[in-house]
Amino acid sequence: MTSAFWHPFSDMAKVGPNPFIIEKSDDVYLWDKDGKRYLDATASLWYMNVGHGRSEIVEAIYDQARKLPVYSTFGDFSNEPAETLAHMLSERSPEPGSKIFFVGGGGEAVETAAKLARRYFSAIGKPEKTYIIHRHHSYHGTNGLGTSLAGIPANTAGFGPMVRETEEIPTHDAEALEAAVVRLGADNVAGFIVEPVIGAGGVYPPMPGYMEAVAQICKRHDILLIVDAVICGFGRIGTFFSPERFGIKPDLITFAKGVTSGYLPLGGVVVSPKVAAPFWENPGTVFRHGPTYAGHPTCCAAGVANIKILEREGLIERGAQLEGDLLASLKSAEPFSIVSEIRGGVGLLGAVELSSEYLEKHPQGVGLLQNEMRSRGVFVRTLSTAVAFSPPLTIEREHLDEISSALADSLSALESKA
């Protein structure tokens, strides 16, 4: 049977008719259809925070799906899991009284936050504040605004005009934010969106003081700070939503992935009391936005069960506790000349960058490294010039050793053919 499944972000002319089928999973391991075992060094796409095979989540999903699988939440309709999860998330958010807007995933969360930033300013009589500033290397999903906010040039190429009112700044320079605001005019800027650790764009941790500095700049210029915590939330960098690590209080926080550890799709936005107020206090001021499955009860039930596990097992803190160990395990890549940089050290996130000389000679080098590691029983994620690591928060040090030696052996195999 020829596959009809078109894979996201994938070169289907190369994937060809024989997709690599994963059949089952448990904790940090996965098995293919021939029974070969692999270590999941990327928590799938950065989201499997509690590890695979949690029957507690599966049972919560089953129980909810039998009772009320789904119903609309438009108007005054609601359901118990959405109420419970929103309450849990609000209680754990950096600002008491925050409101939670649920959507289907991270991309929708970014659209929601960007539209809400603009809508907030129009609601308070500043409709000309429309620009959203973002960083080079950033990734904010594949929807309209999110694509326009991409700091990865390949992700906007070939799609024609993007949303005009966006502005890119260099990755690490907080002063560049201030300069962009001055250039555009603070009266024209609605928000600044920032991943605490840039993920898909290459795994770039923030420079010390960066997050604190941009938070202050946003405040000074009356610009909403939007922290995109889609990867960094739910323990990935050692705190619940991620901004807490830097002691900052964003106006909006986008989340997805780790909220359910991916057991079912779910995303959302934490809306600070300041931004929520015009809508929650003035009848007739409506945020005319929201997808069909906002507050999907079965997805929210998965979220509630997942957060209970994260907290009961101390997994939120583990993202920070193990960050040094992950980075140390990636240091096995250091001796190889085809490696130009090893990044990480903030949360369970890391990357090994291949040198431009090697990639010039071997444009498929990143994929070759992924294949070498796969043949040694470890899954890693390919980025444009690096491979990424973001294991489940349940990872143990012996698993990190497995990653470390598979990495060294794989690089050795590639270097011998370089």
Does 275 bind ligand PMP (CB under 6 A)? Our answer is no
Q: Is 266 in the site for ligand PMP (CB under 6 A)?
A: no
User: Binding segment for ligand PMP among 102-110, 312-320, 325-333, 371-379 (CB under 6 A)?
Assistant: 102-110
**348 contacts ligand PMP (rule: CB under 6 A):** no
- Report in angstroms how near the CB of residue 332 gets to ligand PMP at its nearest: 26
Residue 38's contacts (CB-CB under 8 Å, 6 or more residues apart) are 29, 30, 31, 32, 374, 377, 378, 379
Q: Which stretch binds ligand PMP (CB under 6 A): 104-112, 175-183, 327-335, 393-401?
A: 104-112
- Interface region with ligand PMP, contact rule CB under 6 A, candidates 23-31, 226-234, 387-395, 408-416: 226-234
Q: Are 237 and 205 in contact (CB under 8 A)?
A: no
Nearer to ligand PMP, 199 or 406 (CB): 199
Q: How far is the CB of 139 from ligand PMP (least distance, A)?
A: 5
Q: Does 193 bind ligand PMP (CB under 6 A)?
A: no
Segment lying near ligand PMP (by CB under 6 A), choices 85-93, 137-145, 352-360, 373-381: 137-145
Q: Write the burial class of residue 60 (CB in 10 Å: 0-12 exposed, 13-18 middle, 19+ buried).
A: buried
Considering the rule CB under 6 A, would residue 231 count as an interface residue with ligand PMP? yes
- Asked if 195 touches ligand PMP (CB under 6 A), the answer is yes
Candidates 230, 270, 338, 369; binder of ligand PMP (CB under 6 A) is 230
Within 45-74, the residues that bind ligand PMP by CB under 6 A are 45
Q: What residues line the site for ligand PMP (CB under 6 A)? A: 45, 105-107, 110, 139-141, 195, 199-200, 228, 230-231, 256, 267
